[in-house]
Copies of this chain bind each other. A is one copy, B any other.
Amino acid sequence: MARLPVYQRILLELVRSGTATVSSEQLADMARVNASKVRKDLSFLGSFGTRGSGYDTEFLLSHIDKELGLDADWPVVFIGIGNLGRALARSQGFTSRGFRVSGLYDVATELVGTTVGVHVVRHLDDFEADAAVDPPAVGVIATPAAAAQDVADRLVGAGVRSLLNFAPRVLRVPSHVLLRQVDLSIELQVLSFYLSHRDHPASASVSSPLPHPVGLSPVEPG
């Protein structure tokens, strides 16, 4: 269920702001979807609502967290501590709720030894030894494209079974390894599609009612 993370974020904000209950309609507004959809989605997890008053935010959040596996504690290593890697490793979304930074690695000698948040950047050559002591579950690759496949091979070799690849290159991994390729510029291309069908000189007369391109609605992380 691809909308679960969205509900999770919204509920997290509601819990933090002290809201005790929320109706499907309120949740739907915040997630920018239909209220029935929210109810169908949530009924998939079980009957957690109270008719007449809505859902208990804290109770519902804990169940979504469990469903998403955010009640676990997966060690995550970050490879490639450039601008993007640093941004990811420091972001609350990547360092809380189910995940724990277990190591930051790079090959640039001027980066090795520096600190990012509370963590010290180590040389990639130390990775295998570190992994033997504290085996990482997830590897986040934010290296240049040319290095990504080698890094992926080393991660897989060290037993990492899940990869998140931000480098703009398609990776080959064994079938038992979970891989998600992430391309930040896809968002811009989607925007471009709507832009061109709305503002483009060549299509100024397009009258088809395009749906409003509303993406995920993240809420404030801690």
Residues of A near any B CB (own CB < 8 A): 2, 4-6, 8-9, 30, 67-70, 72, 74, 76, 82-84, 86-88, 90-94, 98-99, 137-138, 140, 145, 161-162, 164, 168-170, 175, 178-200, 212-221
- How many copies are assembled? 2
The 9 lowest CB-CB distance pairs between A and B, nearest first, are: A69-B196, A93-B185, A183-B218, A83-B87, A84-B87, A5-B189, A180-B215, A69-B192, A83-B86
In whole Å, how far is A208's beta carbon from the nearest beta carbon of chain B?
A: 13
In whole Å, how far is A84's beta carbon from the nearest beta carbon of chain B?
A: 4
Known: A98-B192, A200-B69. A220 touches B145 (CB 8 A): yes
Known: A181-B218, A220-B145. A186 touches B69 (CB 8 A): no
Tell me whether B70 and A180 are in contact (CB under 8 A).
Answer: no
How far is A84 from B138 in the complex, measured between Cα atoms in Å?
21
Q: Which of chain B's residues has its CB closest to A215's CB?
A: B180
Q: Which chain B residues lie closer than 8 Å to A82 at the CB level?
A: 87
Q: Could you list 20 examples of A-B contacts with CB < 8 Å? A: A2-B190, A8-B189, A70-B192, A74-B192, A74-B195, A83-B84, A87-B87, A92-B185, A93-B183, A93-B186, A94-B185, A98-B189, A98-B192, A169-B218, A169-B219, A170-B219, A179-B214, A180-B187, A181-B218, A186-B218
